[in-house]
């Protein structure tokens, strides 16, 4: 798909296009919420269910009184908690808890005895929502910037 837009430069005040903080905050929230909901539901970044846990892993999680012992990546609930750092200078950062960094890598890439469970990334649903938010913000900014 290709999209092209021709804008007559004399018709707009482009200074209104400089600040994207609002849409970046929305983008961060979309990614964080999508990640949280996918992991809660046992869904990977590609929209597929995670590889099921082995019975002995479920038994260990039950013995440790973990919530949802049969759901992969949900032993403590910390894998699903991402944080969107406040947008600055037209970028937003999504942060993972530091104590989950190494463990996340094992699951993302299937290191050691772990099967691959692609849990971190931007799903197609989140990508579509982000594209819609950016499009809406751009239209709003262009409408506001029209010179009379």
Mean pLDDT by 10 residues, the chain (148 residues): 60 69 90 92 92 92 90 81 81 82 82 86 94 89 69
Which pLDDT value is given to residue 16? 67
Question: What's the confidence (pLDDT) of residue 34?
Answer: 96
Closest CA to 23 of 14, 31, 13: 31
pLDDT at 123: 95
Measure the CA–CA gap between 68 and 41, rounded to whole angstroms.
Answer: 10
Q: Is 121 left (phi over 0), alpha (psi -120 to 50) or beta?
A: left
Look up residue 53 and give its two tokens.
């846990």
User: Cα(first)–Cα(last) distance of the chain, in Å?
Assistant: 33
**Residues ≥6 apart with Cβ < 8 Å to 46:** 118, 123
Structure-token pair, residue 75: 């032993």
Which residue is listed with tokens 């029209």?
Answer: 146
Positive/negative CA dihedral, 135, 80, 83, 111? negative
């Amino acid at each position: 798909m290709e999209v092209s837009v021709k804008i007559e430069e004399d018709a707009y005040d482009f200074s209104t296009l400089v600040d994207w903080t609002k849409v970046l905050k929305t983008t961060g929230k979309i990614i964080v919420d999508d990640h949280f909901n996918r992991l809660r539901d046992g869904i990977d970044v590609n929209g597929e269910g995670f590889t099921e846990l082995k019975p002995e892993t479920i038994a260990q999680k039950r013995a440790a009184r973990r919530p949802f012992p049969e759901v992969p990546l949900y032993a403590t609930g910390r894998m699903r908690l991402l944080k969107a750092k406040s947008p600055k200078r037209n970028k937003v950062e999504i942060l993972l808890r530091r104590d989950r960094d190494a463990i996340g890598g094992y699951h993302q890439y299937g290191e050691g005895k772990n099967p691959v469970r692609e849990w971190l990334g931007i799903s197609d649903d989140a990508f579509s929502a982000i594209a819609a938010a950016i499009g809406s913000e751009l239209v709003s900014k262009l409408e506001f910037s029209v010179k009379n």
